[in-house]
Structure 1
Amino acid sequence: MEGDMMLQYQPYLDELTKNATETYALMNPHTKEEIVRVPECSQGQMLKAVNLASDAFETVRSMPAHERSDILNRASDIIADQKQMVAETIAQEAGKPIKYALGEVDRTVQTLKFASVEARKLEGESIPMDAAPNGAGRDAYTIYEPIGVIGAITPFNFPLNLVVHKVGPAIASGNTMIVKPAEKTPLSAILLREALVEAGLPSDAYQVIPGDGKNLGEVLLNSDDVKKITFTGSPRVGRDIKSQAGLKKVTLELGNNSALYVDKSMHDRLDDVVSKTVNGAFSYNGQVCISTQRVYVHDDIFDSFLDQFVQETEKLTFGDPLDNNTDLSNLIDEQSQEGLMEWINEAKQLGANIVTGGQKQEQGIEPTVLTDVPADAKISKEEAFGPVVIINRVQSSDEALHAINDSQYGLSAGLFSNDMKQAIDMSHRINVGQVLVNDVPTLRFDHMPYGGRKQSGYGYEGVKYAIHEMVNRKMISLNYTF
């Protein structure tokens, strides 16, 4: 372990609390017990953080690329060494089953590794100036320069990996970062900070300021020193941020209701397809931005697919997130539970069938499968963010294509087909940012481009692609004939 250092969030919380007038209880969604008191940071504290990050920017931007790369690599090793503790922190604050929390830590380690590599690869291009009349006698090239302080507002569902997808690229490209984490899950972001500081990052280059999103976000939006806002959350808040950001750069990862088509040509692979789809629909209680929410199955295999899907769904285990056998647990809060139950009941009133589930289970919901769901039902139109999946029958790939595109969202979609002509054609015609052929839309690799269309967002994540949205391009021309 790097320096035998144990990651802790309490010292950082204690330091913030000295200047905060209030604290709030951070609650474990499963036990309903208090984990720790968290400072409700003020606008003044956020403004101070911006000033410190602005000062630290001069240090970070002047670091050679290999130094920033080494810091990111060392931080990944520190987190890997303390994988179990970090995963348990995620499970406690987010209520995420430990098997998925461990997977999130693994992805975080990998994301930091990718950021470390990309820190050494940020390169421009040469420009042939003599391609233009009178341009002869000049050599020109482009470079990339960091933009400054970046403000990140992050959600509860991936409290570590969605933070590192913002922090890693920012550091790799020489910027500084302030994270306003979800009120319910600030601890993982602090552990990431401690790992980076232990790895050699200046302490003010990445700060975590917990508290009310609207209150603290206002400081980030109004400060001239903050050059970019990167936000993951609801379309409503995303629209507000974009309208108030002015000339700041903005990346927005917003809502989604991922769709999947299963073609009749998959009749010999239904076991594999069902297994992947059940995992895509119910991982972390469906509280995933790209959770498989709408499944369209060709009529020829619909009954077999549905029967197998229900059988696999009913094997899932509800329980304590820290139990390795737990597949599902409580939702993040009672408001989420109540809202989702309303949508399930509305769908039933509109003619949908509840094949399995559909009831409350402690503060969660039984894994629920709905069929014959009308397109205008909220559970079909909106982002469920819970353990609910729609499985509807279609007569053709064209019908499936129309249903997939009949959405206000456009983040990710998947299709299973052994007909490659069909698969390629559909991939080109599905209106989303990522199409995954013979995979569920819930799949994400941390180095791939990741961004949505329509109400799903603006801009791209994925380490290399995020870096290019955190820099300014500069062209330099050398007139060697003068």
Structure 2
Amino acid sequence: MDMKKKLFIGGEWVEGSSYKDLLSPYDREVVAQIPSATEKETEQAVVSAFKARKELGKLPAHQRAEILDNVSRLLEERREEAARLISQEAAKPIQTARTEVARSIMTYKFASEEARRIKNEMINMDAAPGGEGRIAYAVREPAGVVAAITPFNFPMNLVAHKLGPAIAAGNPVILKPASQTPLSAYFIAEIFEKAGLPKGALNVITGKGSVVGEKLVTDDRISVITFTGSPEVGIALRNKAGLKKMTLELGSNSAVIIDEGVNVEEIADRLVLGSFAYQGQVCISLQRIFVHESLKQEVIDAMKKRTDRLIFGHPLDEATDISALISEDDCSRVLSWIDEAKDRGAEVVCGGTREGNGVLPTILADVPTDSSVSCEEVFGPVVHINSFSDWDQAIIEVNSSDYGLQAGVFTNDMKKAFQAAEDLEVGGVLINDIPTFRVDHMPYGGVKKSGFGREGIKYAIEEMTELKLVSFKK
């Protein structure tokens, strides 16, 4: 791997004026040197994307589809290299990184398919008095330059969820990846370059949010902002963005309700996966479990047994289940939140301690629901188990959150399942599954502090296009 990366602007690889060392979250070794874009280079990226918008917008749908199909195929050919990159820069266990690459390949395939079927529609004008003698149709046109600001936790697939629909719809993109995970973004830029994307249609720039992000959000030549990250940053961006179209994916503290009569042994593996996959650094990580009091101890025992078997280690080790958290600060924060819950009477079932640059998978029981590990987004390997006696109360507990991304419900009672589907204040309800489930073509997004707008290629294309009416009078 070339240790020194370059900015990707206007189809060219451009030397940065200054560089920063990228350190492995696991052992703090230098992985690469990353350029920091100044305002000048950010301006070049904006100019280049703005210039490319006409050419890309006029590119026939089948050609845009073919480029995205090429991306999917080229990524398939280099899938192991891609997985190792993710693993190195994000401390994602290699098995989990391979799953992310497989999903990214599928996301670009979906984008290729959706490019061919962007929906235009006929309007029956004579449905209204005065509309007689007119033929009209509505077409979806590219909205313009898209600024994509992506997080560290899925550095390849969450990038795909922004680049895929943007290119499918004919919009040029400026991508600002998270500062800890730029390698995946530069890797995908190489692939787009080989796939035949017109110069300037994709620009990748790394640097400080206060320099790069600030310019992208305030520049009038940018039409769409798509951001995944923290609510604080998302809200600040929205307040500066003016009339730009925005999609904000801002996190969660996802919950699951487990009804009486559910077979705990059948669901325990899913619960542990949802709680601790990628160290809990997943927007829809399972953080809150509300279980009927008759099953509480059984759920605790079943989850503890499986959690105790998880192996902490180097992300590139095939046996590793759990590795380092993304930063030293996150380790300290997660441990302080666990201590706060403990001080307020929560029981530590397992974990709660530090290992290297990580926190061991932690199960807490009987957590006060106004403590940080319950009402904030932990973004670490922590889950709590609380009991309920009344179904309606469990739904109230889940809804008491400031967030509303996804929720899971395990029940054998259809009436309760439909009630939960109707009453839960979230963007997605998963019946008989954990909230940590996502496939890449489903509508995905939240309510409340979890943001607004939807991802999932077809739905993201709607967010990145403008509807134009054309009417002919006979």
TM class by smaller structure: over 0.9
Return the offset for 1:305: 1.4
Q: Is the 8 A contact 1:230 1:252 kept in 2?
A: yes
1:32 aligned counterpart, secondary structure: coil
1:194 corresponds to which of 190, 195, 199:
190
User: Residue in 2 aligned with 1:4?
Assistant: none
**Aligned-partner Cα distance in 1 for 2:3–2:186:** 6
- Counterpart mapping for 1:279-294 below 5 A: 279-294=273-288
Determine if the alignment matches structure 1 residue 223 to structure 2 residue 219: yes
Task: Please give the TM-score of this superposition, normalised by the length of structure 2.
Answer: 0.97
Q: Is the 8 A contact 1:193 1:206 kept in 2?
A: yes
Q: Is the 8 A contact 1:9 1:187 kept in 2?
A: no
Return the offset for 1:301: 1.2
User: Residue in 1 aligned with 2:404?
Assistant: 410
Letter matched to residue 358 of structure 2: G
Return the offset for 1:329: 0.3
User: Residue in 1 aligned with 2:116?
Assistant: 120
Q: Is the 8 A contact 2:137 2:469 kept in 1?
A: yes
**Cα gap change, 1:126/1:327 in structure 2, threshold over 3 Å: closer, same or farther?**
same
Return the offset for 1:418: 1.0
**Cα gap change, 1:391/1:259 in structure 2, threshold over 3 Å: closer, same or farther?**
same
- Counterpart mapping for 1:414-433 below 5 A: 414-433=408-427
Determine if the alignment matches structure 1 residue 272 to structure 2 residue 270: no
User: Residue in 1 aligned with 2:62?
Assistant: 66
Q: Is the 8 A contact 1:108 1:161 kept in 2?
A: yes
List gaps (5 residues or longer) in structure 1.
Answer: 1-6
1:48 corresponds to which of 40, 44, 66:
44
Return the offset for 1:30: 1.4
2:72 aligned counterpart, secondary structure: helix
User: Residue in 1 aligned with 2:148?
Assistant: 152
Percent of residue pairs identical: 46
User: Residue in 2 aligned with 1:388?
Assistant: 382
**Aligned-partner Cα distance in 1 for 2:16–2:294:** 62
Q: Kindly report structure 1 stretches of 4+ aligned residues shifted beyond 4 Å.
A: 7-11, 13-19
Q: Is the 8 A contact 1:281 1:388 kept in 2?
A: yes
Q: Is the 8 A contact 1:17 1:38 kept in 2?
A: no
List gaps (5 residues or longer) in structure 2.
Answer: none
- Counterpart mapping for 1:23-422 below 5 A: 23-266=19-262, 269-422=263-416
**Aligned-partner Cα distance in 1 for 2:244–2:174:** 15
Q: Is the 8 A contact 1:148 1:176 kept in 2?
A: yes
Q: Is the 8 A contact 2:275 2:286 kept in 1?
A: yes
**Cα gap change, 1:18/1:179 in structure 2, threshold over 3 Å: closer, same or farther?**
closer
1:51 aligned counterpart, secondary structure: helix
Return the offset for 1:19: 4.9
**Aligned-partner Cα distance in 1 for 2:149–2:435:** 24
RMSD between aligned alpha carbons?
Answer: 1.4
User: Residue in 2 aligned with 1:3?
Assistant: none
**Aligned-partner Cα distance in 1 for 2:213–2:287:** 30
**Aligned-partner Cα distance in 1 for 2:92–2:45:** 30
**Aligned-partner Cα distance in 1 for 2:362–2:406:** 21
Q: Is the 8 A contact 1:370 1:389 kept in 2?
A: yes
Return the offset for 1:59: 1.1
**Aligned-partner Cα distance in 1 for 2:159–2:13:** 22
**Cα gap change, 1:327/1:130 in structure 2, threshold over 3 Å: closer, same or farther?**
same
**Aligned-partner Cα distance in 2 for 1:32–1:8:** 18
Return the offset for 1:31: 2.4
